[in-house]
Amino acid sequence: MASGCKYGTHRVIEPVGAMPQTAQRIDNDMSKLYDNEILLDVIALNVDSASFTQIEEEAGHDVDKIGKKIMSIVAERGKQQNPVTGSGGMFIGTVAKIGSALKDRDLKVGDKIASLVSLSLTPLKINKILKVMPEVDRVLIDGQAILFESGIYAKLPEDMDEGLALAALDIAGAPAQTAKLVKPGDSVLILGAGGKSGLMCCYEAMKRVGPTGKVIANIRREKYIKPLREMHLCHEIVMADAGKPIDMLDAVLKANNGKEVDIVINCVNIPGTEMASILPVRDNGIVYFFSMATSFTRAALGAEGIGKDVLMIIGNGYTKDHAEITLWELRENAQLRKYFEEQYVK
């Protein structure tokens, strides 16, 4: 078959002219493979945290209803894109076919890989849902997916369990972006520090701030205090609701000697946390919104409304070498790796 657009627009059904991520419906017919596509047999979906949380709450925490909802989304859209959050996740799969135009890739049939592009733009077909795993936002399936020519992926490492690799690669953009943004002497606030992305960002921030900086971890549940303390992932912990911006500001000022912080990294998986991210940061500071529950309209207008001049960064899940950086963190920190294995390998 002829080659399609490297960005996948040849799979867009409606609206015509849209990119796959913004399209309402894309072609998930797996019987036709364009020369510049890769066909994969999918083993598992890791639905992004904001999306899974929304679906789980809508389904009343019923695993059968969660599975049916995901099946209905894919049947309607040809991809796993939550209609409320707009986000997707990523998958683990085995290479089934490689288009003739991509034979020079470092892939062969049978290789097991993790996709590093969002399910919100990935053609996906689910034959059957095998298991829903709410504790790790994962769904085991029998299905297939397509990677476009521009799609990025990572071969699963041989030195760690695939569940561990999937958990880390799912949020690889956050710690890698943290490594780029944080510099020695910075004060850094990480919202949602108890989750996967939050823990990894804390670890990376602690490495970067050096002896003159400070990392402040925000959590809502006391159960996260122990792992944060035992793994030395922060200097201070603040228990505050990210949905209450003034409470967050007061708690952060108290933890940071009355000063606003230089950088805020938002890893919270629920909506309504924009102002709790913006209020505690100093003028000309940085707010990095990794959370896909973020409303960038609320963030922009909210910052304007309080006269805050800050650099706000959209949480691009990709940055150069993000997979390698994130997997290396688990290799160099035995405590963090053990914690991830206990929490996310099921």
Which tens digits make up the pLDDT trace of 282-327?
999 999 999 888 898 999 999 999 999 999 999 877 888 898 999 9
Number of Cβ within 10 Å of residue 282's Cβ equals: 16
Instruction: Report, as an integer, the average pLDDT of 88-114.
Output: 94
| Least confident piece of the model among 148-162, 195-209, 256-270 | 148-162
The per-residue pLDDT for 167 is: 85
Q: What is the number of structural domains in the chain?
A: 2
Residue 163: inside a domain: no
Q: Are residues 191 and 332 in the same domain?
A: yes
Residue 312: inside a domain: yes
Q: Are residues 19 and 116 in the same domain?
A: yes
Q: Are residues 84 and 211 in the same domain?
A: no
Q: Are residues 122 and 256 in the same domain?
A: no
DSSP 98: E
Q: Give the CA distances from residue 341 to residues 80, 148, 197, 223, 334, in Å, rounded to whole numbers and listed in that order.
A: 26, 31, 15, 17, 10
Q: Is residue 163's pLDDT more than 90? A: no
Indicate the residue among 156, 184, 214 that finishes a domain.
156
Choose the most confident range, by mean pLDDT, from 124-128, 155-159, 195-199, 328-332.
Answer: 124-128
CA 236: distance to chain centroid? 25
Q: Is residue 176's pLDDT more than 80? A: yes
Instruction: Report, as an integer, the average pLDDT of 267-276.
Output: 92
Q: State the Cα–Cα distance between residues 166 and 161, nearest whole angstrom.
A: 9
Instruction: Report, as an integer, the average pLDDT of 46-62.
Output: 93
Q: For the chain, what is the mean pLDDT?
A: 94
Q: Are residues 177 and 151 in the same domain?
A: no
Tell me what percent of the chain is helix, strand and coil, each rounded to the nearest 5. Answer: 35, 25, 40
Q: Is residue 93's pLDDT more than 90? A: yes
Instruction: Report, as an integer, the average pLDDT of 151-172.
Output: 88
Task: Residue 257: give its domain's CATH number.
Answer: 3.90.180.10
Q: State the Cα–Cα distance between residues 110 and 131, nearest whole angstrom.
A: 23
pLDDT band at 162 (very low <50, low <70, confident <90, very high): confident
Proportion of the chain above pLDDT 70, given as a percent: 100
On whether the CB atoms of residues 209 and 186 are closer than 8 A, the answer is yes
Q: Are residues 276 and 199 in the same domain?
A: yes
Q: Are residues 138 and 185 in the same domain?
A: no
Q: Are residues 120 and 184 in the same domain?
A: no
Task: Residue 83: give its domain's CATH number.
Answer: 3.90.180
Q: Is residue 178's pLDDT more than 80? A: yes
Residue with tokens 């209020």: 279
Residue 43: inside a domain: yes
Residue 302: inside a domain: yes
Residue 194: inside a domain: yes
Indicate the residue among 156, 181, 213 that finishes a domain.
156
Residue 161: inside a domain: no
Q: Are residues 51 and 131 in the same domain?
A: yes
The per-residue pLDDT for 143 is: 98
| Least confident piece of the model among 72-81, 224-233, 291-300 | 291-300
| Least confident piece of the model among 29-38, 168-177, 259-268 | 168-177
Q: Are residues 324 and 246 in the same domain?
A: yes
CA-based radius of gyration for the chain: 20
Q: Is residue 49's pLDDT more than 90? A: no
The per-residue pLDDT for 2 is: 87
Q: Are residues 108 and 237 in the same domain?
A: no
Proportion of the chain above pLDDT 90, given as a percent: 84
Residue 165: inside a domain: no
The per-residue pLDDT for 104 is: 85
Q: State residue 40 phi and psi, 5-degree precision.
A: -130, 140
Indicate the residue among 100, 126, 156 that finishes a domain.
156
Q: Give the CA distances from residue 114 to residues 45, 132, 145, 149, in Å, rounded to whole numbers and listed in that order.
A: 10, 19, 12, 15
Residue 1: inside a domain: no
Instruction: Report, as an integer, the average pLDDT of 258-268.
Output: 97
Q: Are residues 116 and 142 in the same domain?
A: yes
Q: Which domain holds residue 78?
A: 9-156
